[in-house]
Structure 1
């Protein structure tokens, strides 16, 4: 490799700016402009690629709308009602509150689509509940909140899958459906591990909620629980596009939080709009930088070159998927997930297509790998977030995370080796893959 080539200098610029604290999106734009200048190309191409890619992608509007819906549904009253519902369902089992933590991640998956948002919102509340009275150690509670947050972006709606649909051209509806069984499998292996650990470590069991109270608790949480039903119903019935469904979800969340539960006033609505705008801008700049850098990658003919090298190795589809799993697990421990989806996956997709790997199956595998990377030592972003929330050392947190990491990798193996498991639900909806 020529370390003085325009591409090498562009990469060095991106890495250097990132290490200096410049946001990754802006760093990629800076490195890409340097590449265009060194190659003698029109530097206005960066702006042209950015504008053409973003303004022609109606799907991108779904991201800020999903974020806004999550912000509206994360108010205190809504959270309390949903957590009471989760506690009534699984609180009576060994490791009751720990089981509630996993179940609430399934419920909140329909409102966020972001692992970091789940950990910062409901995960923070679960941390306080689990450690109250010394029922669970702060390290275990923090580790569980981190690994359970991984479930959210696998289940619909999922921001990482929206981004994958953007770079792959795959149907977002079928991707959402393909995430259902893998997400539930991930939750299932986590709850099974909690059950085993609860027996061994004598975790407390929550008082059983009387069955006569279950209808009332369900009724109180019913409006919030209907959000995924309305969202997915409109999406898969063909009534709305994914972006329109996201807008409907945001409007419904606002109606529930303000008019029905009365948990938000004008000030809270303003704060939700402001925080959602900040998050959306952060993601938007990352997408912008990745789109411009992808133009550089394409100019260097890297996807085609890599595809030719991999074809020369004569890898089977399974061997390729195993190699991709290993690559993405390592990258996920160091890089932000959106960066991997927007920069790395477009390089791997041509080879996956050439090997006959289903793009929906490949997308679910990729997203699950990236989500596991968020809790993979030493640099998983969720680990750093939960050390601050739980106020524990990284070493103690990682020690509690490792058993969950092993069972999640086991679930990843099932999803990789058994495509029909992933594609079962999409095929019920008419997918021909």
Structure 2
């Protein structure tokens, strides 16, 4: 490692350790590298502009953010919850099951774990704590855990970012996330059922089955969104970026005209909040583009690939080692930074070892989502704490069982690639 790169990393980690936003830490570290190596500092701006102008796919990020915020602002979330309560609320631990199923459905609309936790998650936590059957910590923990499904089932903002750095097909990445997302939902519901029986949670008042068709009809237009997105992409009607625009437009029509639950004032606030969120993601992307240039200049990916191939590392051992590293990094770094800065280091090695990049991408995104609920940094824990005022210590105390089963699901995805690749291959993927 060169002196300039060492100085860059030292600056980056020092700034991050004292609480500087990661995007700014990356920018400053990159400028330190360029200055120390005698390169023109304007190269930073050139790398950002070149990366952004060549990445039409990045337009999908703000569009999915807008769609998620519109879904949260209207009555769409409430209608989805009523449908979920009618469908699975009758079992022991019913509201916990409702929590997971609601996240499975909402994930097909937002592509964002934070949007899931802050929107529909807050509503279901209020329902669980109001019933008096669940502790605040348990309600918050299962909400945070189920929100990790949001970016796995399409659409998925993290998968869009992974496609940016790996040149993988967004369509096949989206398809590859469906079964892993369902697997995460199953293991979370299984753990909720186990804990509910162990703690003897009382049964909810069941919604009569005769009312299920009415709740289904109320939620049906919202339930159509994932189907519209997938048909648009895989039917050849839209590109993934255009599908994101369709999602935002459909959410706007649904909330504003069909349900009549969105005022012009609310729409203005949604657009402002979406712009702020998009800008925050954009700053990290800009910093990552410069940092990736530095990493390429230092030839680090090829060095890693050469050294690992020389050690005759098997693909499964490599996958386990990389995922262990991502799990550890997930404790202190956010998912966007890991996807844009860390994961590109290992892509040449994946190609050398014959590891499918769609499989690797889906597994890496699942891993990054687990990092969102891993103490001490897990950002979803802080989001839930911010929107509900439930103390962090109560949430962390209850999160461990759900964290454990999600890690088991991750191991299953590593050892059984067909869980990820079956659907993409069914629809023509040759990997």
Q: TM-score, normalized by length of structure 2?
A: 0.97
CA-to-partner distance for each residue in 1:77-99, whole Å, 9 max, x for gaps?
11111100011110001101110
Asked if structure 1 preserves the Cα contact closer than 8 Å seen for 2:89 and 2:97, the reply is yes
CA-to-partner distance for each residue in 1:236-273, whole Å, 9 max, x for gaps?
10110011010011001000000000000100111111
Distance 1:352 1:91 in 2: 43
Distance 2:113 2:247 in 1: 19
Distance 2:123 2:299 in 1: 48
2:109 aligns to what SS in structure 1? coil
Look up the match of 2:211: 213
Alignment counterpart, residue 385 of structure 1, candidates 372, 383, 405 = 383
Look up the match of 2:133: 135
CA-to-partner distance for each residue in 1:208-258, whole Å, 9 max, x for gaps?
222221111111111111111111111110110011010011001000000
After TM superposition, give the deviation of residue 390 of structure 1 in Å.
4.2
Distance 1:68 1:377 in 2: 29
Distance 1:355 1:432 in 2: 17
After TM superposition, give the deviation of residue 202 of structure 1 in Å.
1.4
After TM superposition, give the deviation of residue 20 of structure 1 in Å.
4.3
CA-to-partner distance for each residue in 1:348-369, whole Å, 9 max, x for gaps?
1111110000000000110111
Distance 1:388 1:239 in 2: 40
CA-to-partner distance for each residue in 1:328-348, whole Å, 9 max, x for gaps?
100011101000000011101
Tell which deviates more after alignment, 130-139 or 170-179.
130-139
CA RMSD of aligned residues (A): 1.3
After TM superposition, give the deviation of residue 313 of structure 1 in Å.
1.9
Distance 1:24 1:199 in 2: 42
Tell which deviates more after alignment, 379-388 or 295-304.
379-388
1:134 aligns to what SS in structure 2? coil
How many residues matched? 431
Alignment counterpart, residue 230 of structure 1, candidates 228, 251, 255 = 228
Distance 1:205 1:353 in 2: 51
After TM superposition, give the deviation of residue 392 of structure 1 in Å.
3.8
Distance 1:281 1:149 in 2: 22
Distance 2:254 2:56 in 1: 26
Tell which deviates more after alignment, 356-365 or 399-408.
399-408
Asked if structure 2 preserves the Cα contact closer than 8 Å seen for 1:155 and 1:183, the reply is yes
1:360 aligns to what SS in structure 2? helix
Alignment counterpart, residue 312 of structure 1, candidates 310, 313, 317 = 310
2:261 aligns to what SS in structure 1? coil
Asked if structure 2 preserves the Cα contact closer than 8 Å seen for 1:375 and 1:383, the reply is yes
Asked if structure 2 preserves the Cα contact closer than 8 Å seen for 1:138 and 1:391, the reply is no
Look up the match of 1:29: 27
Asked if structure 2 preserves the Cα contact closer than 8 Å seen for 1:142 and 1:397, the reply is yes
Distance change in 2, residues 1:106/1:323 (3 Å) = same
Look up the match of 2:112: 114
CA-to-partner distance for each residue in 1:77-127, whole Å, 9 max, x for gaps?
111111000111100011011100000000110121111221111111111
After TM superposition, give the deviation of residue 193 of structure 1 in Å.
1.1
After TM superposition, give the deviation of residue 395 of structure 1 in Å.
3.3
Asked if structure 2 preserves the Cα contact closer than 8 Å seen for 1:179 and 1:364, the reply is yes
CA-to-partner distance for each residue in 1:276-328, whole Å, 9 max, x for gaps?
11000000111000001110111111111111221122110010011011101
1:423 aligns with 2:389: no
Look up the match of 1:266: 264
Tell which deviates more after alignment, 24-33 or 164-173.
24-33
Distance 1:312 1:428 in 2: 35
Note the residue ranges of structure 2 that are not aligned, 5 or more in a row.
Answer: none
Alignment counterpart, residue 165 of structure 1, candidates 163, 166, 171 = 163
CA-to-partner distance for each residue in 1:163-221, whole Å, 9 max, x for gaps?
00000000000000000000000000110111111111111222222222111111111
State the 4+ residue runs in structure 1 displaced beyond 6 angstroms. Answer: none
Q: TM-score, normalized by length of structure 1?
A: 0.97
Tell which deviates more after alignment, 198-207 or 144-153.
198-207
Asked if structure 1 preserves the Cα contact closer than 8 Å seen for 2:69 and 2:115, the reply is no
Distance 2:17 2:160 in 1: 28
Look up the match of 1:284: 282
1:360 aligns with 2:358: yes
Alignment counterpart, residue 183 of structure 1, candidates 174, 177, 181 = 181
CA-to-partner distance for each residue in 1:23-81, whole Å, 9 max, x for gaps?
22222122112211211112222111111110111000000000001111112411111
Distance 2:70 2:402 in 1: 31
Distance 2:368 2:131 in 1: 35
Alignment counterpart, residue 97 of structure 1, candidates 88, 95, 98 = 95
Asked if structure 1 preserves the Cα contact closer than 8 Å seen for 2:136 and 2:394, the reply is no
Look up the match of 1:78: 76
Distance 1:275 1:390 in 2: 19
1:179 aligns to what SS in structure 2? helix
Alignment counterpart, residue 372 of structure 1, candidates 363, 370, 380 = 370
After TM superposition, give the deviation of residue 375 of structure 1 in Å.
1.1
After TM superposition, give the deviation of residue 142 of structure 1 in Å.
0.7
